[in-house]
Chain A
């Protein structure tokens, strides 16, 4: 089934691959997907191979989902902004390149961007928070929210904690994406059931904001799960 009035804007990353696979497997088809492709040879944050573009296009084609390749890879560019503004869908599932934030302009065009944060909100805001939560409480998390100008402070639709993954060396490209994809699907299930987006936590204030984990702490977080 097509999701009512829900489109997607997605970079060619491993996370997008997880999202699309799960959306298709659960038959939640966005009405339109705008793909942001990396035209450089150098991989961008969130990419683990340059093969993902072909895989994403194949996934979309096979599922019969309408898609378009963006004229550039920058979500904040005028071209991308115009394309999204001209679409009828009020909600876009967002899956960008790592570290890219939506600027004020795109956040002001009257669309809602459904983002799945890799961490349990509001406790774990910011970047690479699943490594921190593994150290602190041996869990990983994911939370769905609509993006606002203040990072990771938008109202939370759904949040979940998960058991630590078996192979912690694959958190960046597999388990973090897997946890986010699960929360995305559950969020959409509620949306389809109720016909609207309802919030688990409207007041997403407080908590702690974390920054990219230092490699020493990242190693300890991985090693806590047993040497692979």
Chain B
């Protein structure tokens, strides 16, 4: 069976360009599921070791409820500190954490659908071209600045993609989610320490369910995934 090479090395340091990837047959898809299972187990084993920020705990719970189509909104005490998505403009420098947080809150509240897609598409484009999320983006949202190693940003981006894919079933977003999750799974324990385990499980479960859904359409194939 082929190894799943896309998580084998730290993809922050050695990004994969995914160009002209070879075909290895059905075994490759099983190796993907095996790799994801292994990583979910690895993350679960670390539960209880974490001190999670309140906002991240909220994002995990609210996203889970949204994915379960539970319409009950949780009380949000910190929303006044989150910038409204309408305030972001290409003419200004953008602090990525603020943008991602704003997008997530808008998604969770089912607000500003058009703006969510516009900004998410810009982020997808930037990530697909550079395989990085920058700390800031300069005017025009083309050139990134600051650190590219803020792992929490990659996780929130994955969460945005997971919610958007779940809502639209547009495989464009599943595609980028797979790449961001490859990156997250490729990181060592020290780097993902500050990401809530529940949140990592969430983005991986949306992704693997999406892949399983597509695999269901293939006659005569079945994959083992627990």
Q: Are A and B physically bound partners?
A: yes
Inter-chain contacts of B128 with A (CB < 8 A) = 211-212
- Name 4 extra pairs, CB < 8 A, besides A215-B28, A218-B21: A210-B172, A210-B175, A216-B178, A222-B23
* Any B CB within 8 A of the CB of A206: no
A-B contact pairs, 30 of them (CB 8 A): A99-B19, A132-B171, A132-B175, A135-B171, A136-B171, A209-B121, A209-B172, A211-B124, A212-B18, A213-B18, A213-B175, A214-B179, A215-B18, A216-B29, A216-B178, A217-B174, A217-B175, A217-B214, A219-B23, A219-B25, A220-B29, A220-B211, A220-B218, A222-B23, A223-B221, A224-B217, A224-B218, A227-B26, A227-B220, A228-B25
* Any A CB within 8 A of the CB of B102: no
Q: In the docked arrangement, what's the CA distance between A132 and B171, Å?
A: 8
Interface residues of A (CB under 8 A from B): 45, 98-99, 132, 135-136, 169, 172, 208-220, 222-224, 226-228
* Partner among A45, A222, A223 whose Cβ is within 8 Å of the Cβ of B19: A45
Q: In the docked arrangement, what's the CA distance between A218 and B32, Å?
A: 12
A223:B20 contact, CB within 8 angstroms:
no
Q: In the docked arrangement, what's the CA distance between A132 and B18, Å?
A: 15
* Partner among B20, B121, B221 whose Cβ is within 8 Å of the Cβ of A98: B20
B36 to chain A, nearest CB (A): 10
Q: In the docked arrangement, what's the CA distance between A216 and B23, Å?
A: 10
> Which residues of chain B in 144-194 are interfacial with respect to chain A, using CB atoms and an 8 Å cutoff?
170-172, 174-176, 178-179
B34 to chain A, nearest CB (A): 12
Q: In the docked arrangement, what's the CA distance between A135 and B216, Å?
A: 12
